[in-house]
């Protein structure tokens, strides 16, 4: 039987480097050995509901205790039924009431260099005032509020204020167009939009209010628009509809008790791209989500009081929701929040920020890491990065060579790297090293978090039935049990939720990713199921071909896609961004030779195309779907002799891609 008929995916890249935590790191960690991890994990699996019930009792504040831990009516989960709590209370009031109000919540830095330090007591006051402002406008529990803002503290304030009064927020990334905003407003039937006059990005003023106005012309449900004055560009205001943030809170009090919310009341909707192009509103609820992001934050980042945490994501993505706002703030963390681009004014802005605030934990994305590699080590070497003790990665697979660079150049070989695998849908991190316990392997997200049971399935049975794959064989990554942070559905479309996530593999959540596990039980994500390349009946994962290319010293970034081929089924086209080398025919041949050596003849690309940049979604993922069209000759010039640039194409296309 050929591999394609069994559905197996060949595992072609073997990574053998292993990096255990140093003794000093392990000694200070909350979970400091493999035995401790295993004991915690086993207890979470032996009695999953008991485990989460105890976690919820210990780690959340309850106005009313819950009576039932889980009601599972597949595929609809209800966690901590009967209980009432409030996420904003857990993020703010808890700390203020515990005498920790003077702790710094945010060290915020604007792109032009303006800085603010905000304590938990101050954040609590700001959230209460803005929540009172929302009440003045007549907001009700369950109302939807769109938020379209730059990365300023008020973005977190707006989210927490919604949570405080029980409104459901839908944060829309500040780079999206009017069309994308009105689509989201209309799908959620939002009553309010919170925006700003603008924000700063690479030295340019983004005119957010102007874009919001265009969107509002096509958003009939939105009654009021609240506008923060961030850049002072005096946008046009419609007197009946628009109100300045500072006017709204001018005459309100600081007192706004948090509304007791049912555990399963919706906390937010976050839109993510779907295969149909129509954005999907992923719905997360109150108690389960709050518990999951708090505990995963503490476990994965081994968080301690003295840490300065910096997650470089934007709050417009799930990473910003879970690991800037709700997770770290529930844990009372001190964080850095930065408004702008990593190369404003120069390519060393991140390293300057780390040195200034003595950041100890940095959480960023592979796309950023590969960009830093391309910009050159000298930007890094200028700055003192010895405050760092832990590094994290999220959003895409991290190619082993990018992992090594991150480990050596940024972490100085002393910081473990937590490669965190998760999704908008999962709410929080699902697989990652516990940094004090689990040895890292570059490119692997290692092991599941407590309560999470991953399974890798494929058509392995004699008649093609679904079954678990063997060690080191790829297959569809699924999750077996419900977990507190899981999505509760797609806004307004239960059927789409069922079809997309629960119909392919019976009784399991389908992640849409391929993965394999190795002989040590480590998981390796192999890319999206739709991205697999099938060459002569061998199914190859995009990420393995790309990682082999990135291991060539001239290559900064690479994307591999399949294109139709009469003989082989699919042929491989790779799109390559070079560091500073010339895109010559010799280079093309050198890269083919490199792949032959690293993987084998099977994976040698038929076509190598050089590009100055790869098309990416707004959140930084390589858009292989678009590249597949280009490779198949559906778009593009076909002239591959010169350097190509797809950024224009992407600017036209990627509004609805997240
Ligand atoms: O394909 C996986 C990839 O990103 C997808 C989820 O994207 P999104 O919902 O935008 O959430 C991003 C932030 C969590 C996954 O299905 N992905 C995310 N993290 C990793 C990853 N792929 C490999 N390794 C990771 N660590």
- pLDDT tens-digit readout, 245-293: 999 999 999 999 999 999 999 999 999 876 556 779 999 999 999 999 9
Q: How far is the CA of 396 from the centre of ligand 1 (A)?
A: 5
For atom 25 of ligand 1, the residue with the nearest CA is 421
Q: How far is the CA of 542 from the centre of ligand 1 (A)?
A: 14
For 308, phi then psi, to 5°, come to -115, 115
Per DSSP, 128 falls in state H
Please choose, from the candidates 478, 483, 480, 508, the residue with its C-alpha nearest in 3D space to the C-alpha of residue 69: 483
What are the structural domains of the chain?
531-653 (3.30.300.30)
CB of 445 within 6 A of ligand 1: the answer is yes
Q: What is the pLDDT of residues 3-47, one digit of tens each?
A: 444 456 777 667 889 999 999 999 999 999 999 999 999 999 999
Q: Which of 271, 273, 395, 431 to mutate to test the pocket of ligand 1 (most atoms within 8 A of CB)?
A: 395
Q: How far is the CA of 621 from the centre of ligand 1 (A)?
A: 9
Angle, alpha carbons 539-543-547 (nearest 5°): 120
Query: Buried (b) or exposed (e) across 157-169, using 16+ Cβ within 10 A?
Result: bbbbbbbbbbbbb
3-class DSSP assignment, residue 97: helix
CB of 365 within 6 A of ligand 1: the answer is no
Q: Which two tokens stand for residue 421?
A: 């695998």
Counting atoms of ligand 1 from 1, which one is nearest the CA of 319? Answer: 13
CA 32 to chain centre: 26
Give the residues of the chain that fall short of pLDDT 50: 1-6, 636-642, 648, 651-652, 654-658
Q: Specify the pTM.
A: 0.93
pLDDT score of 18: 96
Q: How far is the CA of 319 from the centre of ligand 1 (A)?
A: 10
Do 377 and 409 form a contact (C-beta atoms < 8 A)? Answer: yes
Q: Which two tokens stand for residue 100?
A: 């920790």
3-class DSSP assignment, residue 406: helix
CB of 460 within 6 A of ligand 1: the answer is no
CB of 432 within 6 A of ligand 1: the answer is no
CB of 479 within 6 A of ligand 1: the answer is no
Pairing status of strand 607-610 against strand 555-565: unpaired
Counting atoms of ligand 1 from 1, which one is nearest the CA of 425? Answer: 9
pLDDT score of 275: 57
Do 554 and 579 form a contact (C-beta atoms < 8 A)? Answer: yes
Counting atoms of ligand 1 from 1, which one is nearest the CA of 393? Answer: 26
Q: Which of 368, 423, 431, 509 to mutate to test the pocket of ligand 1 (most atoms within 8 A of CB)?
A: 423
CB of 657 within 6 A of ligand 1: the answer is no
pLDDT score of 464: 82
Do 270 and 318 form a contact (C-beta atoms < 8 A)? Answer: yes
Q: Give me the torsion for CA of 469, 472, 475, 477, rounded to 10°.
A: 100
Report the DSSP beta bridge partners of residue 496.
none
Q: How far is the CA of 52 from the centre of ligand 1 (A)?
A: 24
**Which residues, including other chains, have CB under 8 Å from residue 490's CB and lie 6 or more apart?**
280, 281, 282, 283, 496, 497, 500
Do 263 and 83 form a contact (C-beta atoms < 8 A)? Answer: yes
């Amino acid at each position: 039987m050929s591999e394609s008929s069994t559905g197996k995916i060949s595992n072609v890249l073997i990574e053998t480097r292993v990096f255990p935590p140093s003794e000093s790191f392990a000694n200070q960690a909350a979970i400091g050995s493999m035995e401790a991890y295993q004991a915690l994990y086993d207890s979470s699996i032996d009695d999953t509901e008991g485990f989460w019930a105890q976690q919820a009792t210990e780690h959340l504040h309850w106005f009313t205790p819950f009576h039932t831990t889980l009601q599972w009516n597949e595929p609809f989960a209800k966690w901590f039924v009967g209980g009432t709590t409030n996420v904003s209370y857990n993020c703010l009031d808890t700390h203020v009431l515990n005498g920790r109000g003077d702790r710094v919540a945010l060290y915020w830095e604007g792109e032009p260099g303006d800085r603010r330090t905000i304590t938990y007591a101050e954040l609590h006051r700001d959230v209460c005032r803005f929540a009172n402002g929302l009440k003045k406008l007549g907001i009700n529990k369950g109302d939807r509020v769109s938020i379209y803002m730059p990365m300023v503290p008020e973005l977190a304030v707006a989210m927490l204020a919604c949570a405080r009064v029980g409104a459901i927020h839908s944060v829309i990334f500040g780079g999206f167009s009017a069309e994308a905003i009105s689509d989201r407003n209309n799908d959620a039937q939002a009553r309010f939009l919170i925006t700003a006059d603008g924000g700063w990005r690479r030295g340019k003023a983004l005119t957010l209010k102007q874009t919001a106005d265009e969107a509002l012309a096509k958003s009939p449900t939105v009654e009021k628009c609240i506008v923060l004055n961030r850049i002072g560009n005096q946008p046009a205001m419609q007197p009946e509809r628009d109100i300045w943030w500072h006017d709204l809170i001018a005459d309100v009090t600081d007192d706004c008790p948090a509304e007791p919310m049912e555990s399963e009341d919706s906390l937010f909707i976050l839109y993510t791209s779907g295969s149909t192009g129509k954005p999907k509103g992923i719905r997360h609820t109150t108690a389960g989500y709050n518990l999951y992001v708090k505990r995963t934050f503490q476990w994965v980042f081994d968080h301690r009081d003295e840490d300065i945490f910096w997650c470089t994501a934007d709050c417009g993505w799930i990473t910003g929701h879970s690991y800037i706002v709700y997770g770290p703030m529930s844990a009372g963390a001190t964080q850095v929040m930065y408004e702008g681009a990593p190369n404003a004014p120069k390519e060393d802005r991140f390293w300057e920020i780390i040195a200034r605030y003595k950041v100890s934990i940095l959480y960023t994305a592979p796309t950023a890491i590969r960009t830093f590699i391309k910009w050159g080590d000298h930007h890094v070497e200028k700055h003192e990065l010895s405050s760092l003790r832990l590094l994290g990665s999220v959003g895409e697979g991290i190619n082993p060579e990018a992992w090594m660079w991150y480990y050596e150049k940024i972490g100085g070989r002393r910081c473990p790297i937590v490669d965190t695998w998760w999704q908008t849908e999962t709410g929080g991190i699902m697989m990652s090293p516990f940094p004090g316990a689990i040895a890292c392997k570059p490119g692997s997200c290692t092991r599941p978090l407590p309560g999470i049971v991953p399974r890798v399935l494929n058509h392995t049975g004699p008649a093609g039935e679904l079954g678990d794959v063997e060690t080191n064989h790829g297959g569809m990554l699924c999750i077996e049990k419900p977990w507190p942070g899981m999505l509760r559905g797609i806004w307004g479309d239960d059927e789409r939720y069922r079809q997309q996530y629960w119909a392919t593999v019976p009784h399991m959540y389908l992640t849409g990713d391929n993965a394999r596990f190795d002989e040590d039980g480590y998981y390796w994500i192999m890319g999206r199921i739709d991205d697999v390349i099938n060459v002569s009946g061998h199914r190859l994962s995009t990420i393995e071909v790309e990682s082999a290319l990135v291991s060539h010293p001239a290559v900064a970034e690479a994307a591999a896609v399949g294109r139709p081929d009469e003989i082989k089924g699919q042929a491989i086209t790779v799109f390559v961004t070079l560091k500073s080398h010339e895109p010559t025919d010799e280079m093309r041949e050198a890269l083919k030779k490199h792949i032959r050596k690293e993987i084998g003849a099977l994976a040698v690309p038929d076509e190598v195309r050089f590009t100055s940049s790869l098309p990416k979604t707004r959140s930084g993922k390589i858009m292989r779907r678009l590249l597949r069209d280009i490779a198949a000759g559906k778009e593009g010039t076909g002239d591959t002799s010169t350097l190509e640039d797809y950024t224009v194409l992407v600017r036209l296309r990627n509004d609805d891609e997240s």
